[in-house]
Amino acid sequence: MLATSRSQQRTFNLVILGILLIGIVIVATPMLYMVSTAFKGSAYVQEFPPQFIPNNPTLENFQVAFNSRNFGRAFLNSAFVALSTALLVTVLASMMAYSFARFDFAGKNAIFYVLLAMLMVPGVVLIIPQFILAKNLGLLNSLPGLVLVYSAGPLAFNTFLLRGFFENLPRELEESAVIDGASPLTIFVRVMMPLALPAISTVAVFSFLGAWDEYVLALNFLTDESLRTLPIAIANFRGQHATNWGLVFAGSLTAVLPTVLLFIFFQRYFIQGLTSGAVRG
Amino acid sequence: MHTDLARHSTRAATSARPAPRRGRLYYRWYVPYLFLLPGLALYLLWTVYPLGYQLFISFFDWRIIPGQTSEFIGLANYQRAFGDNTFWLAMRNTFGYVIVTVIGQMLIGLALAWMVNRVFVGRRFFRAVYYLPVVTSWVVVSFLFQYLFSPDASGLINFVLVDILHVLPEPVSWMANASSAWIAIYSLGIWKGIGWAMVIFLAALQGIPPELYEAAAIDGAGEWQRFVGLTLPLIRRTALFVLIALIIGGFQVFISVLLITGGGPLHRTEVALTYMYDQAFGSLRFGYGAALSYILTIVIVVISFVQMRFFGRRNDSVEY
């Protein structure tokens, strides 16, 4: 009986593998098609039948993209905005998380519950007041202004993520640091931050991606063409009537590449961070 | 459940020792606040305060143009919303999107996780490829799906359905009417989200001790019986978590609709956020937009609150 069930098992596993591979094809096809379109000359983009591997691959779209409409500038703007946001969120959220995890102070629970409650409010419903506030503070048309708004949104969530991580760190290391006369700041910088590196890099990567991809706030905050970020630049490639899809996807590919690289490099931390809070029996 | 066991044992080990008195951290009373202050100030200014400010704005016929005065109109914006057919259509569309995409992501995500967990080759590869759409920007994938669903014969979806599979007699102009436009928007929502659901489910499945399956197999339980009787109950909490997160995410559907159909044709594919956005930034009715935002916020908060109660509580830790 065991023998037959073992060969049955093998067929069954092969069937499963087959389904998974078909799934991969379905999931990956849109992405691959985007890559292939980016390398098609403008004459071939609407061709019938559609070509998966372009007959005459060309870098023309990338050249046009980087030579036109401040695209290179938009790349730099996005890099500035996303890196600053990642840095700000990481530093501020870990400071708050450390405070919640290791100190006792008046009002701790009240502040904690305000943050907890705010987690339920999705950031995107706040664009109207944020826009008017930025306008009143004179922060429209300013990349640092955009960074401030981008950084505020994810703070609560990341504070909770890091607080959980800090609380699970063993206290022994801090205790020996205290005996050596370390101050809270020293312990935070020298002991907690290095130990929490996996969680902190998750926070940094997610905040980077959030700022890198954001579209609507950037569209309304930045009217000055030289300040525009990548998603706006890509959207501008999509003309009103005849869209040059090759150009759109050459721009898209340029924007997507850094995020995919980040994902590949940080895959382990990524998955850890994603599942750490979610999975319990 | 593995982690819970581990946590229990470490807790038992530490409580067996006398509490460490030496090495306790001393700090002045204001130190915790110094750590809290910069982040909290930023957070209060850009999220807590705007939430209140939005309520204020929603009571006005708000004028964004300098020199014009905003007029206080009480609840008129809310009254208007309840009589606004397009708003109700947008809310119904949002619920429809949530129902279709959440079910799709849950079922496909769980099935994929279960299959990836079963085969022992290429787990990391499968996980990485299925997850790729999750990390790709909404702007990019929205344009991509618009292109895939191009109206002419050279559109990839039309080509596959008409010329390869022969399930359609002629190319469909997908965005010309609402029902076919929803197919494009729904499939984007599901395609982009299944990787996330899969990763979470996979982690939960990997936490189930294999001995349980072996015991069930010896008892003669078949594949399906083991899945329903053993796996599903064990990952119940994870499934609930995924469900909540997907529902809350689904209500925030925005960029894909904005970029693929723009709410058209004739507002037929409008969702709550695109309509709010259109009213505020398109028609400059910021007061009305603020009221719409508030209604949506209340809907989302009520739903997540109900779900959180349902989901259960564990000390004061956040569930996500």
In the predicted structure, residue B24 carries a pLDDT above the cut 90 = no
Residue of A nearest to B44 (CA): A152
| Residue-wise pLDDT tens digits, B55-86 | 999 999 998 887 888 889 989 999 999 999 99
* Residue A5 domain flag: no
A-facing residues of B in 189-248 (CB < 8 A) are: 191, 194-196, 199-200, 203-204, 207, 223, 234, 237-238, 241-242, 248
* Residue A279 domain flag: no
Which of chain B's residues have a Cβ under 8 Å away from the Cβ of A47? 154
| Total number of domains in chain A | 1
DSSP state of B231: I
* Residue A109 domain flag: yes
What pLDDT was estimated at residue A149? Answer: 96
Mutation target to probe the B interface, by most B beta carbons within 10 A, among A128, A157, A217 is A128
DSSP state of A250: H
What pLDDT was estimated at residue A146? Answer: 96
Q: In whole angstroms, give the CA distance from residue A167 to residue A56.
A: 57
Residue A236 tokens read as 């501008």
Picking from A121, A213, A220, the nearest residue to B137 by CB comes out as A213
Which of chain B's residues have a Cβ under 8 Å away from the Cβ of A123? 47
In this structure, which CATH number among 3.30.70.100, 1.10.3720.10, 3.40.50.300, 1.20.58.220 belongs to the domain B79-311? 1.10.3720.10
pLDDT tier at B16, thresholds 50, 70, 90: very low
What pLDDT was estimated at residue A273? Answer: 66
Question: Which among A112, A105, A113, A114 has a CA at the least distance from the CA of A184?
Answer: A105
CA distance A237 to chain B (A): 11
CATH number of the domain bearing residue A143: 1.10.3720.10
* Residue A126 domain flag: yes
Higher pLDDT, A86 or A168: A86
CA distance A81 to chain B (A): 15
Query: What value does the mean pLDDT take over residues A222-250?
Result: 87
* Residue A29 domain flag: no
CA distance B47 to chain A (A): 7
Give yes or no for B150 touching A (CB within 8 A). Answer: yes
What pLDDT was estimated at residue A183? Answer: 86
pTM of the model as a whole: 0.88
Print the domain residue range for A92. Answer: 76-237
Picking from B27, B38, B252, the nearest residue to A95 by CB comes out as B38
- Residue ranges of domains in chain B: 79-311
| Residue-wise pLDDT tens digits, B168-201 | 899 999 999 999 999 999 999 999 999 999 999 9
Helices (DSSP H) in A68-182: which residue ranges?
71-102, 108-118, 127-136, 143-152, 155-167, 172-179
CA distance B51 to chain A (A): 7
Residue contact A152–B318, C-beta within 8 A: no
How does strand B71-72 pair with strand B60-61?
A: antiparallel
Q: In whole angstroms, give the CA distance from residue B157 to residue B162.
A: 8
Least confident of A73-87, A113-127, B38-52: A113-127
CA distance A80 to chain B (A): 17
Picking from A119, A216, A252, the nearest residue to B277 by CB comes out as A216
Q: In whole angstroms, give the CA distance from residue B271 to residue A135.
A: 27
* Residue A66 domain flag: no
Sheet strands (E) in chain B: 60-61, 71-72
What pLDDT was estimated at residue B142? Answer: 96
Which of chain B's residues have a Cβ under 8 Å away from the Cβ of A249? 143-144, 147
Task: Please check whether residue B122 is in contact with residue B239, taking contact to mean a CB–CB distance below 8 angstroms.
Answer: no
* Residue A95 domain flag: yes
* Residue A104 domain flag: yes
